[in-house]
Amino acid sequence: MLQDGPLRFGELRRTVGAISERMLILQLRELQTAGLVHREVYQQVPPKVEYSLTAFGRSLNDAMAPLGTWGEDNLERIEAIPFE
C-alpha cells in the first residue's frame, strides 16, 4: 500500500516504480479529471507540484483496501499463475 500524504511528482514516480513518466502523467490527469486526485501547484523555482487524494479518492481507496489485502494474502498463488 502507498502512503497517503501529498507526494511530489518525482516522489510518486519513484514510489510507484514500474511506470513511465508519460503514463504516470496521463494517469494522474485522468484521476484528476475523475475527481479522485487533487493537484496542488506551488509557484516557485524549481517547480513543485503535490498530488493527494480527494475525499472521493480516499473513499475509493478504502473500498479497494480489501482487494489489496486479498492480493497480499494470496501473493504466492497469484505469482504461480502462468502467463498464457
Partner DNA sequence: CAGTATCCGCGATGATACTG
Partner DNA sequence: CAGTATCATCGCGGATACTG
Residues that bind a copy of itself (CB under 8 A): 29-30, 33-35, 56, 59-60, 62-67, 69-70, 74, 77, 81-82, 84
**DSSP helix/strand/coil, 37:** strand
Q: Helix crossing, 21-33 with 9-16: angle to 10°?
A: 110
Of the candidate residues 2, 4, 35, 48, the single one contacting DNA (CB under 7 A): 48
The least CB distance from residue 4 to DNA, in Å, is 18
Asked whether the beta carbons of 8 and 53 are under 8 A apart, the reply is no
Of the candidate residues 2, 10, 15, 69, the single one contacting DNA (CB under 7 A): 10
